[in-house]
Amino acid sequence: MQTDILVIGWGKGGKTLAKTLGASGRDVTMVEQSDEMVGGTCINVACVPTKSLVTSASRRREADDADTWFAESVDRRDTLIEKLRAANHAMLDTLASVCLVSGRATFVGPKRILVQAGEDQLEISAETVLINTGTVPAVPDIPGVDDPRVFDSTTIQHADPMPKHLRIIGAGPIGLEFAGMFRGFGAEVTVVNSRDVLLPKEDRDVAEALEAAMAADGIRFVHGTRADKIAFEDGEDAVLLAAGRTPTTSGLGLETAGVELDERGYIKVDERLRTSAEGVWAIGDIHGGPQQTYLSLDDSRIIGAQLSGEDSRTTTDRVAVPTTVFTTPPYATVGMTEAEAREAGHRILVAKKEVAKIAAAPRPKIVGDPRGIVKFIVDADTDLILGARLIVVDAQELINLIALAMRAGVTATELRNGIWTHPSTTELLNEVLGELSLA
């Protein structure tokens, strides 16, 4: 068959473009190899289901049976994901100009793929190809990884029975989120970190505050230790591999399409997400940038502008991109660390305060978790915010306001003097930014 737009993989950016282009009358074909991944990684195995479990874990009381609570939490997770998956399928299936194809895609030539599903085969040619196949959990090549008690971030969401003693290999965002989650469910958790300290690229005061908050929940950290094998002792029943993710480029036949890869196996792209093959773009995690679904969404805007003839956006337009790790409390960041700001040559003002000592923002105390720290880095000459670090209740929401202020050129003084609802975590801006000082 022939199509105008071929999208390989049902991720956030790909499905958004498929819907937009299909609604405008373009002939679009979406290929997805797994019915369980309709809608993409985020809604099926990553962002949404894991945060559902994090939320359930945070609501468990000591009197609640751990096994029962976990099983019910997984059921709620599955019910939610089934609804989201169905909604994502309907989003494209209801568009007359969009064709949905199930099967494994392999390039057999430039802008030409072969889709296989069992014994069935279909060859598809397109004017434009969007590769949106994403990443999967990385599996280190060490003895013991094939033990049934070893999980990755996908399989552990349906662990049965629930692990009572969980050792996590990796102290990045995935490892930290699952550490907090399973500690909430009642497991004993140890995080094995190959680095000498937690979050080595972060300011030490912020990283230490996060580790202290997690340690207060009973999570144990072992730093400077690299796993060279996995073996189980009495009383240990599960290991989680959280050592990053790897691109799904193997088996796609990209060399046949003329699509080049980097040394890590990700697709090489330019600032407009164009690959080395004419008419082929890479979208989302597969091109090796920061792996966040909202950046995949922005990828769709960049590519969509080109396909509509505007060509008005690039990846270099992105500034003040916020991130959140859903620990308890959440750890959110935007912009520079204090060390980065100094290295860049800025004369800086710094404001830092423990959440428990912020009188103007009582919400963390109201909800029963006044742990954490808040830190702002401000340019002393322009009064513009260079960066912020929040370990506090509602950090995942407040960081978006700060990021918008940075993009819009709103000064620290304007945020300090802002009128915010009460009681809210946002009120900390009034107090903490009022304590800026040269550093």
As annotated, the active-site residues are 422
CA angle 162, 163, 168 (to 5 degrees): 135
Closest residue by Cα to residue 384 from 356, 403, 359, 360: 403
Q: Provide DSSP, 383-410.
A: -BEEEEEEESTTHHHHHHHHHHHHHHT-
Task: Say which DSSP state 336 is in.
Answer: -
The alpha carbon torsion through 173, 190, 57, 82 (nearest 10 deg) reads 60
What sign does the dihedral 249-251-252-256 (CA atoms) show?
A: positive
Tokens found for residue 235: 């009383």
Give dist(CA 286, CA 263) in Å, integer.
Answer: 13
The owner of tokens 């309709």 is: 38
**Residue 289 exposed, middle or buried by CB count within 10 Å (0-12, 13-18, 19+):** middle
User: What contacts 24+ positions apart, CB below 8 Å, involve 169-172?
Assistant: 169/140, 169/227, 169/230, 169/239, 169/240, 169/241, 169/242, 169/243, 170/194, 170/240, 170/241, 170/242, 170/243, 170/244, 171/195, 171/198, 171/199, 171/221, 171/223, 171/242, 172/242, 172/243, 172/244
